[in-house]
Amino acid sequence: MLTKLFDPTVFAFVVRFDQLAEILVTTLIFVIIGLIFFTVAYFILSRMFDIHHEIEEDHNTALGVIIGSIMIGISIIIAAAIHG
């Protein structure tokens, strides 16, 4: 019973390292592309609304909720586009 708990094959990789490296590189590329699109979307929103002034100085909670909702929506769209 105890020999099955300490069996070294239990800790074996499910995917070979070369396949894992390819998947990691692809994932990092998609993460970078997603972050670029998200940054562009935030830049466009900051041009449309004076986010810094409205949220931080005027304490406009409603605009904060709206901007947060828009960012979550954009993130979902980007994730769906990357996932395929």
Quick: pLDDT tens for 14-37: 777 777 788 888 888 888 888 888
Closest alpha carbon to 81 in 48, 23, 40, 33: 33
**pLDDT score at 54:** 81
Residue 55 within any structural domain of the chain: yes
Range of the domain at 64: 49-84
Distance CA(45)–CA(42), nearest Å, equals 5
Residue 61 within any structural domain of the chain: yes
Per residue, the 3-state secondary structure of the chain, as one string, reads: CHHHHCCHHHHCCCCCHHHHHHHHHHHHHHHHHHHHHHHHHHHHHHHHCCHHHHHHHCCCHHHHHHHHHHHHHHHHHHHHHHHC
Give the chain's residues under pLDDT 70: 1-13, 84
Residue 58 within any structural domain of the chain: yes
Q: How many domains does the chain have?
A: 1
